[in-house]
Chain A
Amino acid sequence: MSLRLRQPGIPLTDESALIAALSAGDETAFAHLVDQHAAAMLRVARGYVPTREIAEEVVQETWIALIKGIDKFEGRSSLRTWLFSVMINIAKARGMRERRDADAAIAACTGGTVGPKRFRTADDPYPGHWRPDEVPSPFPDTPEGSVLGNELVAVARRELDKLPERQRVVVTLRDMLGFDSAEVRDLLDISTANQRVLLHRGRAAVRQVLEDYLVDHS
């Protein structure tokens, strides 16, 4: 890579080096950042806007904002957090989705995340406990890259794509991309409690399809 040739010893993962290279107009550095973040940005943008085309425009605007503002980028947040934060603001402005609706929808999320039939009923000596034939079994240990591991990742991904948008965005940011709770709270401007409701429901839905898959394939 040209960065390495010009600046021996500075890896492409060194953020301040990347930012300096970007400021200097280094296209390789830009391409590297695009390859690192643009696909995930598109995935998240889709949670705010109605079409893939608009999501692409939102992501493109975000990169242009970075190009224009790179000299002023002060590194107070990581570049990734900055990109997602700007992108989500642009997407919200384009998305026309009302925050009030979102909070109302979260508040309306009641009901359990595990099928109620799996638990013993009130007339049982142990109400609310697993029915004997419904006790969960541990998921198998699947090393990264194993056949079963890859199948489970594919199953999880299909379910993630099907989740309601807000759940999908929160699960994507927290579990797929590894943002922490405080970062997601700031990015999405939702309360920690609501974030946790969305995260829990989304994870529970993915857990259920993984369990179904493992039961069907054992």
Chain B
Amino acid sequence: MSTKGIDFRDLSLKDALDLAILIEEEAMDRYGELADQMDLHRTPDAAAFFRFMAKNEAKHGATLVKRRNQSFENQPSAVTRAMIFDVEAPEYDEARAFMTPREAMASALRSEVKAHDFFARAVPLIRDATVKALFTELREEETLHQRLIQEQLEKLPPDPSLGAADFEDEPAPQ
């Protein structure tokens, strides 16, 4: 997780909203990619969970877009996707063929923790009170998401005794 060329001290509310939107968009895209990978490698339960997460990220992104447009409609954005790297998106190496729903949820939980830490680290640096309030709110949302995933994890039955190493994933058709 990293950012490039963002100075949190001077972040405006518009840029902060744009940044938050891009973070949600990056996470949505990544969950979509991971779901595709799981489908290709015959891991449907993890695929379904990653699709569910992609939808959630899209929903959060849409809420932020609405807020952004209420105050800053038609104003150009100063932040780009090139400035953020895996802030809330799970890293590619989190995925494995035949991962269980529990493993998929655990990777999503790690991503929520990562996003929480991002906002928690940024808050003390921010000078603008409205931006500070926004990032504090987003940090708390990440805590809520962690709790929701944790609750789902607790409802899951234990993983089967067979692990991924007990299966052979034939190469996908060329």
* A and B bind: no
